Amino acid sequence: MLLKNTYNELLKIATKIRSYIGIGALTLLIFIVLFAMKADGKSYVGFVTASFEQTLSFNGKILNGNLIAFIIMQMLIVHVPLLIALVTGDLLSGEEASGTVRMLATKPISRTGIVFSKWIAATVYTLIMTFWLGFLSLFVAKWMFGTGDLIVLNSNGLLILAEYDLGWRFVFSLIVAFLALWTVATLALAFSAFAKNSVGPIVSTMSVIILFTIIGTLDVSVFDTIKPFMFTTHMAAWRSIFEDPFPLREIIESVVILTVHIVALLTITIVRFNKKDITS
C-alpha cells in the first residue's frame, strides 16, 4: 500500500505544473549564470585573484567548468530551497485545500502511510532537483568551459584543488547538498501538515530559513549556543568538501545534525497528521 501510494504521490507531482516551475526556474537560473560567465567570466576571476595579482601571476585555465559549477552551486543553494518548498509545502496542505484529503484519508491506508509516501515522493523530487542542479552546473558547464583545476576562495585565502581531486568532491558535495535540501523539503512537509493551503507552508519554510540564516550570521554571543544546532548553519556544509585538509569531523557533524532534523521533522509531521481531525 505504501509503495502504491508513493507511486500515486509521484504521479501527482509529475502531473502538477508547479513541479516544473522549480525545474524550469533552476534551468533558467543556471543558464543565466553560464551565459554571464561566458560573457564576462574573466572579470569575475580577476576579482577572485585580485588580492595577489601584483606579485603573482595565475597561469592555466582558471575559468573552467569546475569553477563555474562551484559558483553555480554556491549561488543557487540559497534559492533552490524555495523551489523545493514550492512543491513539498503543498503535499499535505494542497490535499486539504482541494478537499481530496477526505478521499485519501478514508482509504485503507494509515495516516502514517500517507505522510510517509508523501515524504518519499518529496525525497525523490529533491533528489531530481539536486541531480538536475549537479548535471547542469557540472556537465553543461564543463561542456561549455572545459575542465581544469578549481580555485576556491575562502575567507582565509585561496585554495587550488587539482582537477583529478575534484570528481569525488563534487559527488560528495552534491550528496551533502541533497541532505540540506532534503531537510528543507521535510520542513515544508511538516508545515504543510499544519496548514490548510500551500501558501502558509512555503512562506513559513522560507521565513525559517531566512531567520535562521540571519541568526547564523549575527556575531552575537547569545546565539552562539544554538548556532551549531540550526540546520541552516549546516546547509552550506557541502562547501566544506572543497577544503583542504578535508574537514571530515565537521562534515560528519553536519550530516548528523541534518539527519536528526529530517527524522525529527518527519516525526512531527506523522504525529500531527495522525492527530489531525479532518474537518474540511
Partner 1 sequence: MPLIEVQHLQKKFGAFQAVKDVSFHVNEGDVFGFLGPNGAGKSTTIRCLLSLIRPSGGTLNFFGKSLNENRSEVLSRVGCIIEKPDFYKYLSAQRNLEIFARISGKDIAPRQIQEMLDFVGLNGREKDKVSGFSHGMKQRLGIAQTLLHNPDIVILDEPTTGLDPQGIIEVRNLILRLRDEQKKTVLLSSHQLSEIEIIANRMVIINQGRTIVEGEVHELLEKQSLNLEVFVENPSKLEDMMQRLYPQLVTRLLYKSTYHIEMIEDVRLEMIQRMVESGCGLKSVIPKRSLEDFFIKMTEK
Partner 2 sequence: MRKLSILVLVSLVGHTQAQTANALIESVLDKINLVNDYKAELQIKAVIPFIKVPIANATIYYKKTDKFKVESKGIAILPKQGLSDLTGFLTNTKSYSAVLGEEKTINEHKTKLVSVLPSAENSEIVLAKVYISPSDALIYRTVLTTKSSGTLSIDYEYNHNKQYALPSKLTFTVDIKKFKMPKSVASDIRNNDDKKKYKENEKGTILLVFTNYEVNKGLSDAIFKEDQ
Question: Which of the ranges 12-20, 170-178, 225-233, 246-254 carries the binding residues for partner 1, by CB under 8 A?
Answer: 12-20
Q: Are residues 60 and 161 in contact, defined by beta-carbon separation less than 8 angstroms?
A: no
Beta bridge partners of residue 157, listed in sequence order: 154
Phi and psi dihedrals of 252, rounded to 5?
-60, -40
CA distances, 210 to each of 21, 173, 213 (Å) = 21, 22, 5
C-alpha cell read off for 111 = 495516516
In angstroms, give the least distance from the CB of 179 to partner 2.
14
User: CA angle at residue 75 from 41 to 143, to 5 degrees?
Assistant: 50
Q: For binding to partner 2 (CB under 8 A), which residues are involved?
A: 47-48, 50-62, 74, 148-149, 151, 153-163, 165, 233-237, 239-240, 243-244, 247, 250
User: Tell me, what DSSP letter sits at residue 82?
Assistant: H
* Dihedral (CA of 54, 57, 63, 69) sign: negative
Q: Are residues 19 and 88 in contact, defined by beta-carbon separation less than 8 angstroms?
A: no
Q: Which does 65 bind (CB under 5 to 8 A by kind): partner 1, partner 2, none?
A: none
74 is a contact residue toward partner 1 (CB under 8 A): no
Could you give the string, one character per residue 192-231, with x where binding to partner 1 holds by CB under 8 A and - elsewhere? ----------------------------------------
Q: Which does 159 bind (CB under 5 to 8 A by kind): partner 1, partner 2, none?
A: partner 2
User: According to CB under 8 A, which residues from 78 to 137 bind partner 1?
Assistant: 98-100, 102-110
CA distance 103 to 99: 8
Q: Are residues 147 and 64 in contact, defined by beta-carbon separation less than 8 angstroms?
A: yes
Q: Which does 23 bind (CB under 5 to 8 A by kind): partner 1, partner 2, none?
A: none
Q: Which does 157 bind (CB under 5 to 8 A by kind): partner 2, partner 1, none?
A: partner 2
Q: Which does 51 bind (CB under 5 to 8 A by kind): partner 1, partner 2, none?
A: partner 2
Where do contacts with partner 1 occur on this chain (CB under 8 A)?
Answer: 1, 4-5, 7-8, 11-12, 15-17, 98-100, 102-110, 275, 277-279
